[in-house]
Structure 1
Amino acid sequence: MPDDVTRTVTTTAATADAGLMVDRAAQPISGARLPAGLSLISADNHIEVTEDIFYEAFPRHLRDAAPRVWRDGYWRLGYRDNMQTYPEGVDVDGALTKAVLTDGFDLAVRARHLEIEGITQEIVYPQSLLAFIRHPDQEVQELIYRTYNEYIAALGKRQAGRFHGVGICGNWWDPAKAEAAVRQIVDLGLKTFMLPLSPGADAAGKPIDYAGKTMDRLWAVAAEAGLPVNFHIGEVPGNSTRGGFGTFFIVQAAPFRRVFGNLIFGGILDRNPGLRIVFAEGGINWVAGALQDAELTYGTHREIYDIVPRHRPAHYWYNNMYATFQTDLVGLRLLDIIGADRVMWAQDYPHGEGTFGYTAGAVRQVIDAMPEAAARMILGGTAARLYGLG
């Protein structure tokens, strides 16, 4: 039995044995044999800030607190006075940085790679900026994200119809500023925005609970905006300990469970049934286990809940939530539980765990694993509908 299990796992992972990004070349999409008329959309790609936008945009009295952008082999985002990429302690020259194709942040290189690999449109998340979720100065943090939203909206206009940047909610810790934060994203024409998996503390230093009453206003304005709300792995990478990178990588989907639980058992989706939630880059196989555990606790403990959901937990997944994946054969085998209409394929360019260099093979896995109608949804149809893409 152990030998059989080993062979199964090895076979599952074999298509992703691609090595470092820097050693790969774009793979023509022709090998995937896409169904006629299918528009391949990546529901999770990334972009780095490559211009010194924060220093230039910050008011003069706060410029010394603005993060800087520079390049010395890799793109850096942090505080240049001590050449320290934020946050301190992250090994920016180690495995994490080398797992990214930094040339992919050059828009001309990026466009060429995506065209070869058949990507017609991309949903684009931030890169190093995710680490600023834990910035100690909330005034500076808000300015960082508002500036970034303007930057990403401008990039989208330069690549209209192909590049759809994910905004970052500029303030989630102060209910009085929630509406203005979401309004900026709407006014900029962004199609979606993200919140941190771990929201940290409010202005008074009290830990934030997404299901808490102080967050009700944020969820209400998000629902009013009608834009999908995204959560993404990797906010504060910890890779400097022995074996740290491998351990960090395999626990990335774990924080999804807390938000998943908040949304269901904290009544967020009952109060805002129109919310649409996306869990990005954590794969899809985690969903089946989370649903099973949620249904178990609902069935055995709901009489002692302080808030009893109006529906069974699975209802909220099938009506309000989505997840993205790059290669996940285990997850694809569980689609009868997860639902083909709940998942979206992603290239994850230009990350090492992304499919650049073997996108055709990854896409072919999806096509071979299911009926054409389901493959069409997963490879672009659901993303087009969810994000309102033309």
Structure 2
Amino acid sequence: MTQAERFLLVSADSHVAPPPASFRPYLEKEYLDRLDELESENEQFLGWTGKLGAFPEEELDLIDTEGAIRSGGVDENFVLERRLTEMDREGIAAELVLVGAQTATTPFFGATNRPYPADVRAAGARAYHRWFGDVLAKSGGRLIGVANPGPAHDIEESVRELRWAAEHGFRSVAVPGVILDDDLPPLWDEHYDSFWETCADLGLVLSVHAGHGHPQGKWFGFLEQIFGADDEKDGREMLQALLNTKGGPLDLDYIPARVTWSLMLGGVFDRYPNLQLALTECRSDWVPAMMALLDERYRRGDTPLKKSPSEYWHGHCWAGASSIKASEVRLRHEIGVDRIMFGRDYPHPESTWPNTFDWFREAFTGLPVDEVRAIVGDNAIRCYGLDREALQKVADRIGPRSQDLKLESDVDPRIVDHFAKRAGYRKSYEKIDSDEVSSLFVDDLAATSNA
């Protein structure tokens, strides 16, 4: 076994959430008085999310055998040294980092915040970029930033921020419309052309994460409703209620698919052939059925599409399979085994951390090693244009060997049961509503035709 044969692991999904005070040195002075408001919001947010993210002792005895959780690995996600320690623990050479976790509210611009005016959201995004830009500079290339476009009303301002972000270690940016805003035009509007062009020129991958396109304050209100109903409810029961409620974060949401076909219908991928789109933590087992349905509609010949939706998918789109499900592994060839990217989703309670190796052993049992290498690292390197040689040097130091992973199912069944409980590992394929999808697609087709 040579050093080069170590697995090169790149997580395509993780999160960071520093306390609001972290942004004070970076927030423009005219917005500093809003930090008190954010601190108050954060205190209430933590009162809820502390219940969501806390595992009982008997579960920690099973999943936290190395003390990663008990020693503060969740709360210290924003501390670079601790974050690198947790990456080393699981052999992660690099990971993509999005803002937002249960340990702190977002600086004004997140879906989990209370509603804020557009200028405050934009200022918060700039402050976050500059704070995390400093972190990225110290990470030795092991952290990969995802920027936020802000409200995107002034697209040239957004473009200027894109250029700053690309110069400071960010390799991706969220698609405009992270927060539902009726003042923004649809994605196929020429309003965004300079944004798409800049992303293509700079190699910034477009990102859509779970929760995209909802009104700001929706999830804050959702948490308030659940936890306000009965303060004595067990935190884990509340988590399960949240995850299994219609409209909850694990419920199938057509917004990511709609973003994808909007870029297709709007000719964005045709005009900018280098542009790439990654869907993260949106599940991916719906992709084959969705593309088959859209391909059937395309064959009627009355759309502006120059290629079939499946061709656009396999040429421009990537599936960030966070806490990868058994159903996604079974459908890997239909989704595109060269298009799926593993994400460990640290530090969320549904993440593979701190049991990533066991997750691999269970999910990838019997798979060809080259397919496993693609899913757990190679695809992310291609998607985000990462420096393979530099990351291989990191992997040669910390990456797991084949015998460490074994890729055969000898995982304690109790741990697999816990994967199912905390992240829906055994959930069946997401079923799409063909009539609803067709109706949404026809609506968007008509809108692009009339634009």
TM-score interval (norm. to shorter): 0.7 to 0.9
Q: Could you state the TM-score of these two structures normalised by the residue count of structure 1?
A: 0.77
Cα distance, 1:163 vs. partner? 1.7
User: Does the Cα contact within 8 Å between 1:41 and 1:120 map onto a contact in 2?
Assistant: yes
User: Does the Cα contact within 8 Å between 1:344 and 1:380 map onto a contact in 2?
Assistant: yes
Distance (whole Å) between structure 2 residues aligned to residue 383 and residue 357 of structure 1: 21
RMSD of aligned Cα (Å): 2.8
The yes-or-no answer on 1:372 pairing with 2:377 is no
> Please, which moves more after superposition, 128-137 or 248-257?
128-137
User: Does the Cα contact within 8 Å between 1:363 and 1:379 map onto a contact in 2?
Assistant: no
User: Does the Cα contact within 8 Å between 2:24 and 2:32 map onto a contact in 1?
Assistant: yes
In structure 2, the partner of 1:85 is 42
> Per-residue displacement from partner, 1:204-253 (whole Å, max 9, x unpaired)?
x6243111222222222222222211111135533444644432122264
- In structure 2, relative to structure 1, the CA distance for the partners of 1:267 and 1:289 (3 Å cut) is same
Work out which of the residue numbers 244, 247, 250 in structure 2 matches 1:246.
244
In structure 2, the partner of 1:13 is none
The yes-or-no answer on 1:44 pairing with 2:13 is yes
AA paired with 2:291? L
The yes-or-no answer on 1:109 pairing with 2:67 is no
The yes-or-no answer on 1:132 pairing with 2:109 is yes
- In structure 2, relative to structure 1, the CA distance for the partners of 1:110 and 1:199 (3 Å cut) is closer
- In structure 2, relative to structure 1, the CA distance for the partners of 1:181 and 1:112 (3 Å cut) is closer
User: Does the Cα contact within 8 Å between 2:108 and 2:121 map onto a contact in 1?
Assistant: no
Query: Secondary structure in 2 aligned to 1:322?
Result: strand
User: Does the Cα contact within 8 Å between 2:125 and 2:148 map onto a contact in 1?
Assistant: yes
Query: Secondary structure in 1 aligned to 2:5?
Result: coil
In structure 2, the partner of 1:232 is 209
Distance (whole Å) between structure 1 residues aligned to residue 250 and residue 83 of structure 2: 27
Distance (whole Å) between structure 2 residues aligned to residue 159 and residue 250 of structure 1: 31
In structure 2, the partner of 1:337 is 334
User: Does the Cα contact within 8 Å between 2:150 and 2:176 map onto a contact in 1?
Assistant: no
In structure 2, the partner of 1:282 is 282
AA paired with 2:340? V
In structure 1, the partner of 2:158 is 178
Distance (whole Å) between structure 1 residues aligned to residue 150 and residue 11 of structure 2: 25
Query: Secondary structure in 1 aligned to 2:8?
Result: coil
Distance (whole Å) between structure 1 residues aligned to residue 107 and residue 345 of structure 2: 15
Cα distance, 1:258 vs. partner? 1.4
Distance (whole Å) between structure 2 residues aligned to residue 252 and residue 350 of structure 1: 22
- In structure 2, relative to structure 1, the CA distance for the partners of 1:104 and 1:36 (3 Å cut) is same
> Please, which moves more after superposition, 315-324 or 259-268?
259-268
In structure 2, the partner of 1:323 is 319
- In structure 2, relative to structure 1, the CA distance for the partners of 1:389 and 1:225 (3 Å cut) is closer
The yes-or-no answer on 1:222 pairing with 2:203 is no
Distance (whole Å) between structure 2 residues aligned to residue 370 and residue 282 of structure 1: 23
Work out which of the residue numbers 160, 165, 169 in structure 1 matches 2:140.
160
User: Does the Cα contact within 8 Å between 2:294 and 2:309 map onto a contact in 1?
Assistant: yes
User: Does the Cα contact within 8 Å between 1:171 and 1:181 map onto a contact in 2?
Assistant: no
> Per-residue displacement from partner, 1:295-325 (whole Å, max 9, x unpaired)?
132234x42x4xx110000011101010111
Work out which of the residue numbers 30, 43, 56 in structure 2 matches 1:61.
30
Cα distance, 1:375 vs. partner? 1.2
Distance (whole Å) between structure 2 residues aligned to residue 334 and residue 130 of structure 1: 37
> Per-residue displacement from partner, 1:169-228 (whole Å, max 9, x unpaired)?
245222332321211112223222223554533xxx624311122222222222222221
Distance (whole Å) between structure 2 residues aligned to residue 84 and residue 153 of structure 1: 25
- In structure 2, relative to structure 1, the CA distance for the partners of 1:280 and 1:95 (3 Å cut) is farther
- In structure 2, relative to structure 1, the CA distance for the partners of 1:216 and 1:90 (3 Å cut) is farther
Cα distance, 1:256 vs. partner? 0.9
User: Does the Cα contact within 8 Å between 1:39 and 1:380 map onto a contact in 2?
Assistant: yes
Equivalenced residue count is 337
- In structure 2, relative to structure 1, the CA distance for the partners of 1:181 and 1:108 (3 Å cut) is closer
> Per-residue displacement from partner, 1:28-53 (whole Å, max 9, x unpaired)?
xxxxxx99222111111111123624
Distance (whole Å) between structure 2 residues aligned to residue 170 and residue 245 of structure 1: 28
In structure 2, the partner of 1:192 is 172
Query: Secondary structure in 2 aligned to 1:41?
Result: strand
User: Does the Cα contact within 8 Å between 1:253 and 1:283 map onto a contact in 2?
Assistant: no
AA paired with 1:249? P
- In structure 2, relative to structure 1, the CA distance for the partners of 1:173 and 1:229 (3 Å cut) is same
> Per-residue displacement from partner, 1:253-306 (whole Å, max 9, x unpaired)?
432111112111222212222111111112221212221222132234x42x4x
AA paired with 2:311? H
> Per-residue displacement from partner, 1:352-371 (whole Å, max 9, x unpaired)?
11101321122224542422
User: Does the Cα contact within 8 Å between 1:209 and 1:215 map onto a contact in 2?
Assistant: no
> Per-residue displacement from partner, 1:92-121 (whole Å, max 9, x unpaired)?
346545489324344343333222221121
Structure 1 unaligned blocks of 5 or more? 1-33, 69-77
- In structure 2, relative to structure 1, the CA distance for the partners of 1:253 and 1:115 (3 Å cut) is farther
Distance (whole Å) between structure 2 residues aligned to residue 343 and residue 126 of structure 1: 22
